[in-house]
């Protein structure tokens, strides 16, 4: 098309890029709102309109353009492709109000024009305003109408086109005008109003407005409301807003009220700007929001409210109540306990309520009430008169009359008397009364007086007295009993004497009369009796821990109730038992003099007795020229202050036989000392190892290693010495050695016992928590954990044991823990590089082997393999200062990479170049999963191949296909996995 002609005829001319994007959706991204202005446009090919003329093939590309008509006329429009091939089909749709453009094109009834007559170069038009042979009649459109232009390139060609609109009187486009005609204000009672905009057909929103623009003041409510209007389809749309005020037409007034005669009330209106009131005779004013009403009788008032010309009325009634009153009531005076009758109040208008209060509830009447005063029983707990003031207040509705008062007096007599009392024979007590004004007592026997609040009673026998109290003519009585008790005595008890250890019998005290209690005390508990008690004197064991007699005084006191008689006393003396010991000068040889001895007891008398009728009354007798029968046990008895004690002593004769020593041993040099035993006691021990000659204590550590001769010499001179030999063995000297003392975990060590003398039993302790070993000679042990360990050896030889520990004897070094990772152990031949991240612990040096003959000593090396598919194993050796090495490995893989290209044109003209169409694969695909399919523009299959080397030669059914664009689809898998690929595109067949 001639560009000068285009500038002359076109109000606007827009260029659109058609580019294949795969299946998509209708969109409204492009519009002609401002002539001559448009942006980039992407075309989609799914969701086709319901059209009478468009193809909608699988390869079709589509453009969507929105127009808003600003002036009516025929839609003279040119669509002109800029490529030298590619068919363009055009359809014009009306967009009804309220519908989206993409919804409107789904209804063929909205299609108002279609041109399917374009030339191969892509030129077509509506009307005859432009030089293009492919022309159809231009549809007539009106101002305000929304249109969607749908442009289809049914070959899916990558092309651009221009869109030109003819000059007036043809239809013109532009943005819609949303300007709103102002309206209002309205009363809330006003009818609905249709709102108007410059370009109608849009959508209205806001309070009280319908989508078509009908505004209802009642639905909107009082206040100023914002109304919004939007016209056109996005992005060719516009919007505006306006405000509409709705004024009130409703007046409110305070509620109905009841007042007392002569009272006033304030009436208040609301909801309007100004107010007027009627009738005005009893009002403080006839205008204003608040007025004061003082009617003489019940009156209904009307208020009229006005706001911006909107009027409304409301009524309020003021009711005038009746006048409440109450008649006077006379004062009353009664005795306590009297029934006080009900009092009915009167004097007020019908409906009057009488509310009363009582100032003193102690009279027996409640604190308050309503209606008649109820009957009640008068109460008075005091000894004097009490009163309650009754106040009665009349009310009628909210009106309160003048109250009256009257008094109710309760005259009380609540006589009380002191509690019952008990006196001893010949005693007296004071009786006291209360709760009244005057008192009289009876009977008068034993009383100091028969009147008065206080009297003294001293009856000879138990007597009950009655007191009568009087207050203001009101009387009451009370009683009290005075009990007369007996005269308690106790019979005397003789003094007593006992030896320590004797049992003192129980004693029962007596004297009388019946009911007497005998309380006793003990002045000296050292005799063995308790400090005090009652009635019976207890049985006890007499005690005396000293050398002299001790005495206690027992005091017994009789009592009946609070009456106490004369006490008695008696003494108990406890003499001590004499302490005696007996002895002799043995052991003796037969024929020696026997001296018997007894300890001294002052004032004591001694008596000795023995076998064969032996008796002697001296303290220390002697038996001369002893014979074998004299070496026996003798008894001595001493008596002092009537108390006796005995002791015995045995005279030992040294035997005339040879003593023997009990054999002991052998011992170890570190054994504890032992006491040696001989058959005859009392001798002296000697020899190496004896540390106590008297007791025969033998200490192996003080003896010699080997044989030790021990001698025992009796002390009585009656027999010869005895000897014995005791063997003492040496303590083992412990020594051991390990074949290796330091190494890596796990560490195998052989420990050898080198103790002297040779061990007969051993216990090895390895210090690592493992079980002990009793292996003789050498023992093998494995230390699994790093650390230094104490080795302990306990040995036994000749029954003697010893233990030795060598601290930190075996030290186990920690093993290096080799580990590393690779972020991605699979790479492609385009970049066969692997980064090794070292995560080893307990290591100081590293050696890497990459599996291709190369290595590294870096901590975190990177390694690049040859650009060939293959699998390798990366090995890391981690070492430390102790030479404790560890290794780790990871397998890596280098995969082939998918590389291919597909031609976009071929020339099957029979020469030696470019005669067939096929993809060219360089690497990374599985040829056994390959397929190629060719289609024409209508989707018919023209050719199929499963051999990558066998391509399409441009023929179909034996004939060469026509020149044009064809669609291809290839399918294949990756060579290293089962990932599937499906690719589609276009190729140009050129002859």
* pLDDT at site 213: 87
pLDDT tens digits for range 846-905 = 999 999 999 999 999 999 999 888 999 999 999 988 888 999 999 999 988 888 889 989
* pLDDT at site 119: 54
* pLDDT at site 5: 29
Sites in the chain below the pLDDT cut of 70: 1-61, 80-87, 116-122, 133-134, 153-161, 234-235, 249, 383, 655-657, 716-717
* pLDDT at site 121: 55
Assigned token pair, 176:
């819609």
* pLDDT at site 858: 96
Report the alpha-carbon distance of residue 733 to residue 573 in Å, rounded.
75
Q: Which CATH class is domain 899-989?
A: mainly beta
3-state class (DSSP) for residue 430: strand
Q: Which CATH class is domain 489-575?
A: mainly beta
Per-residue CA distances from 903 to 945, 947, 985 (Å) = 17, 17, 10
Report the alpha-carbon distance of residue 186 to residue 215 in Å, rounded.
10
**Residue 365 region by backbone torsions, left for phi larger than 0, else alpha for psi between -120 and 50, else beta:** beta
* pLDDT at site 657: 64
Per-residue CA distances from 828 to 816, 825, 834, 871 (Å) = 33, 10, 11, 11
Q: Map out the domains of the chain as residue ranges.
A: 3-173, 186-247, 252-320, 332-411, 416-484, 489-575, 582-650, 667-729, 736-813, 820-895, 899-989
Report the alpha-carbon distance of residue 626 to residue 629 in Å, rounded.
8
Per-residue CA distances from 461 to 457, 482, 918 (Å) = 11, 8, 150
3-state class (DSSP) for residue 86: coil
* Composition of the chain by helix, strand, coil, percent to 5: 5, 50, 50
3-state class (DSSP) for residue 325: coil
Contact between 955 and 989 (Cβ < 8 Å) = no
Assigned token pair, 277:
């009131």
Please report where in the chains the tokens 């009834």 appear, as a residue: 109
Report the alpha-carbon distance of residue 712 to residue 696 in Å, rounded.
8
Task: Answer whether CATH 2.10.109.10 is correct for domain 582-650.
Answer: no
* pLDDT at site 2: 31
Fold of 736-813: Immunoglobulin-like (2.60.40)
Task: Answer whether CATH 2.60.40 is correct for domain 332-411.
Answer: yes
* pLDDT at site 976: 76
Cis peptide bond N-terminal to 746, omega within 30 = yes
Q: Which CATH class is domain 416-484?
A: mainly beta
Contact between 372 and 352 (Cβ < 8 Å) = no
* Beta bridge mates, 14: 163
CATH of 3-173 given 1.20.1050, 2.60.120, 2.10.240, 1.10.3210: 2.60.120
Q: How far apart are the first and last CA of the chain?
A: 27
Nearest to 805 by CA among 745, 858, 735, 859: 735
CATH number of 820-895: 2.60.40.10
Report the alpha-carbon distance of residue 831 to residue 897 in Å, rounded.
10
- The total of other beta-carbon atoms located within 10 Å of residue 455's CB is 20
pLDDT tens digits for range 266-318 = 999 998 889 999 998 899 999 999 999 999 888 999 988 888 778 888 898 98
What is the DSSP track for 460-507?
A: SS-EEEEEEEEETTEEEEEEEEEEE----EE-----EEEETTPEEPPE
Per-residue CA distances from 364 to 336, 562, 950 (Å) = 9, 44, 127
Task: Answer whether CATH 2.60.40.10 is correct for domain 252-320.
Answer: yes
């Amino acid at each position: 098309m001639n560009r000068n002609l285009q500038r002359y005829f076109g109000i606007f001319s827009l260029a659109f890029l058609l580019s294949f994007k795969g299946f998509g959706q209708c969109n409204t991204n492009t519009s002609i709102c401002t002539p001559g202005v448009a942006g980039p446009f992407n075309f989609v090919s799914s969701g086709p309109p319901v059209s009478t003329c468009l193809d909608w093939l699988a390869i079709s590309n589509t453009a969507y353009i929105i127009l808003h008509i600003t002036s009516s006329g025929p839609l003279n429009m040119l669509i002109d492709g800029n490529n030298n091939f590619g068919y363009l089909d055009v359809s014009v749709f009306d967009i009804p109000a309220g519908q989206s453009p993409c919804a409107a094109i789904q209804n063929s009834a909205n299609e108002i024009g279609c041109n399917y007559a374009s030339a191969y170069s892509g030129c077509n038009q509506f009307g005859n305003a432009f030089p293009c042979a492919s022309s159809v009649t231009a549809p007539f459109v009106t101002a305000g109408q929304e249109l969607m232009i749908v442009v289809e390139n049914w070959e899916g060609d990558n092309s651009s086109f221009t869109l030109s609109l003819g000059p007036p009187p043809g239809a013109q486009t532009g943005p819609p005008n949303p300007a709103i005609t102002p309206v209002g204000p309205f009363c809330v009672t006003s009818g609905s109003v249709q709102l108007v905009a410059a370009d109608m057909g849009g959508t209205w929103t806001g309070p009280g407005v319908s989508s078509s623009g009908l505004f209802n003041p009642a639905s909107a409510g009082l206040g100023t409301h914002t109304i919004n209007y939007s016209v056109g389809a996005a992005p060719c749309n516009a919007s505006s807003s306006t405000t509409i005020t709705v004024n009130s037409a409703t007046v409110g007034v305070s509620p109905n009220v009841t007042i007392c005669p002569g009272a006033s009330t304030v009436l208040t209106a609301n909801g309007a700007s100004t107010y007027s009131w009627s009738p005005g005779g009893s009002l403080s004013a006839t205008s204003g929001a608040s007025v004061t009403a003082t009617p003489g009788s019940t009156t209904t008032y009307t208020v009229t409210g006005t706001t911006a010309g909107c009027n409304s009325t409301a009524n309020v009634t003021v009711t005038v109540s009746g006048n409440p009153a109450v008649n006077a009531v006379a004062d009353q005076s009664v005795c306590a306990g009297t029934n006080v009758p009900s009092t009915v109040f009167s004097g007020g208008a019908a409906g009057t309520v009488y509310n009363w209060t009582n100032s003193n509830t102690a009279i027996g009447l409640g604190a308050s009430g309503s209606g008649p005063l109820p009957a009640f029983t008068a109460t008075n707990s005091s000894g004097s008169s009490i009163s309650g003031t009754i106040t009665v207040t009349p009310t009628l509705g909210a009106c309160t009359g003048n109250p009256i008062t009257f008094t109710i007096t309760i005259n009380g007599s609540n006589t009380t008397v002191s509690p019952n009392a008990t006196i001893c024979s010949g005693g007296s007590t004071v009786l006291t009364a209360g709760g009244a004004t005057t008192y009289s007592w009876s009977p008068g026997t034993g009383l100091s007086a028969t009147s008065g609040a206080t009297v003294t009673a001293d009856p000879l026998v138990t007597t009950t007295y009655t007191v009568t109290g009087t207050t203001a003519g009101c009387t009451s009585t009370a009683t009290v009993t005075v009990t007369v008790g007996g005269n308690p005595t106790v019979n005397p008890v003789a003094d007593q004497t006992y030896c320590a250890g004797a049992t003192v019998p129980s004693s029962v005290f007596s004297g009388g009369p019946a009911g007497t209690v005998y309380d006793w005390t003990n002045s000296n508990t050292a005799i063995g009796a308790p400090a005090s008690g009652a009635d019976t004197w207890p049985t006890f064991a007499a005690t005396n821990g000293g050398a002299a007699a001790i005495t206690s005084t027992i005091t017994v006191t009789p009592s009946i109730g609070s009456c106490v008689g004369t006490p008695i006393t008696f003494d108990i003396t406890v003499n001590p038992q004499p302490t005696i010991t007996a002895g002799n000068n043995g052991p003796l040889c037969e024929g020696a003099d026997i001296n018997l001895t007894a300890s001294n007891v002052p004032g004591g008398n001694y008596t000795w007795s023995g076998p064969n009728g032996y008796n002697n009354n001296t303290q220390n007798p002697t038996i001369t020229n002893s014979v074998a029968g004299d070496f026996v046990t003798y008894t001595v008895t001493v008596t002092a202050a009537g108390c006796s004690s005995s002791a015995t002593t045995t005279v030992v004769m040294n035997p005339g036989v040879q003593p023997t020593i009990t054999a002991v041993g052998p011992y170890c040099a570190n054994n504890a000392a032992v006491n040696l035993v001989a058959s005859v006691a009392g001798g002296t021990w000697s020899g190496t190892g004896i540390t106590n000659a008297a007791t025969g204590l033998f200490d192996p550590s003080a003896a010699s290693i080997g044989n030790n001769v021990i001698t025992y010499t009796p002390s009585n001179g009656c027999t010869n010495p005895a000897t014995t030999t005791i063997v003492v063995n040496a303590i083992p000297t412990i020594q051991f050695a390990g074949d290796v003392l330091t190494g890596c975990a796990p560490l195998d060590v052989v420990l050898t016992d080198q103790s002297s003398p040779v061990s007969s039993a051993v216990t090895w302790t390895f210090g690592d928590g493992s079980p002990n070993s009793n292996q003789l000679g050498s023992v093998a042990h494995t230390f699994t954990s790093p650390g230094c360990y104490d080795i302990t050896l306990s040995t036994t030889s000749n029954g003697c044991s010893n233990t030795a520990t060598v601290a930190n004897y075996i030290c186990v070094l920690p093993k290096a823990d080799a580990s590393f990772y690779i972020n991605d152990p699979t790479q492609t031949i385009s970049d066969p590089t692997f980064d090794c991240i070292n995560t080893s612990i307990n290591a100081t040096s590293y050696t890497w082997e990459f599996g291709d003959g190369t290595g590294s000593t870096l901590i975190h090396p990177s390694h690049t393999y040859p650009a060939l598919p293959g699998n390798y194993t990366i090995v890391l050796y981690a070492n430390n200062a102790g030479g404790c090495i560890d290794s780790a490995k990871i397998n890596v893989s280098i995969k082939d990479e998918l590389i291919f290209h597909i031609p976009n044109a071929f020339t099957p003209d029979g020469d030696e170049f470019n005669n067939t169409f096929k993809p060219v694969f360089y690497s990374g695909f599985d040829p056994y999963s390959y397929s190629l399919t060719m289609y024409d523009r209508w989707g018919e299959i023209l050719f199929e191949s499963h051999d990558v080397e066998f391509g399409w030669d441009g023929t179909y059914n034996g004939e060469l296909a026509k020149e044009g664009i064809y669609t291809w689809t290839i399918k294949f898998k990756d060579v290293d996995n089962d990932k599937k690929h499906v690719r589609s595109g276009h190729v140009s067949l050129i002859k």
